[in-house]
Amino acid sequence: MSKNAKIRDEARQVNARPPAVILCEPQLGENIGTAARAMANFGLVDLRIVNPRDGWPSEKARAAASRADHVIDNVQVFDSLEAAIADLTFVFATTARSREVPKPVRGPDEAAAKAVELGSKDLAVGYIFGRERWGLNNEEVALADEIVTLPVDPDFASLNIAQAVLVCAYEWRNTATQGALPFRLDEEEHPPATKDDVLRMFEHLEGALDRVTFFRPPERRPHMVRTLRNIFQKASLTDQEVRALRGVIAALEKRETRPPKRGDEEE
């Protein structure tokens, strides 16, 4: 197994029960589909819908889900929010507005930590998302254990449902996998260059520049050399990159250094 294959397998390992996503009276099938796609991106599969305006199933939702068919195929539809959350142990209500309902208010990262903690004990957690036009009402928020709100600009706080689902799903997976990424640069295939190789490249470059009198005036040479070396040091060059740069320098050394005449430029 390659190193990247192992990394991908590690990124799939989630030891917490994924939360359910509950959409309360969504109006557009497209929004249901894009929410399903956001869920699938981060490993959530339990999508519940309360009284979708245009009914269910929805071909518009399936098309917008962009191949997240496993989420769409398992959608559950309910007549009430109470029925949709009945089997859950802990529920978050997402809202961008201050409420009169006295509940703890969490950011998406704090909510994710709580969801993962409960999910690791195989307890069922859910996030409720409200309608496109006005979100959740106070009675619906009252059914939740805590409120989740995102760190948005208070002057433009409204998010599309799928955007809100995406943020919460991302934070959950980032916490559940401890930030595991699906791939990284394989350092075994691209090892960093040794200092000896980098210094030899510097000497090669500086020698080529000396031959075309790049360092002018001569007394500025030490400062210009330091500047060039600092530029390349910031790049953390690999062995392959140093070889490529040496090849570029060698190719340029074979070019004619006489500046072209004006007529030649036009030709």
The answer to whether the predicted template modeling score (pTM) of the entire model surpasses 0.85 is no
Q: Give, for all 267 residues of the chain, the pLDDT tens digit.
A: 554 454 455 446 688 999 999 999 999 999 999 999 999 999 999 999 999 999 999 999 999 999 999 999 999 999 999 999 999 999 999 998 776 778 999 999 999 999 999 999 999 999 999 998 889 999 999 999 999 999 888 888 788 999 999 999 999 999 999 888 876 655 556 789 999 999 999 999 999 999 999 999 999 999 999 999 999 999 999 999 999 999 999 999 886 544 555 554 443
Q: Are residues 167 and 235 in the same domain?
A: no
In a domain, 159, yes or no: yes
Render the chain in DSSP notation, one character per residue.
--HHHHHHHHHH---SPPPEEEEES---HHHHHHHHHHHHHTT---EEEES-TT-SS-HHHHHHTTT-HHHHHT-EEESSHHHHTTT-SEEEEE-SS--SS---EE-HHHHHHHHHHHHTTT--EEEEE-BTTTB--HHHHHTSSEEE-----TTS----HHHHHHHHHHHHHHHHTTT--S----TTTSPBPPHHHHHHHHHHHHHHHHHTT-S-SGGGHHHHHHHHHHHHHTT--BHHHHHHHHHHHHHHHTS--SPPPHHHHH-
Number of domains within the chain: 2
* Domain boundaries, position 250: 195-266
Query: Looking at the structure, do residues 26 and 153 belong to the same domain, yes or no?
Result: yes
Q: Do residues 112 and 237 share a domain?
A: no
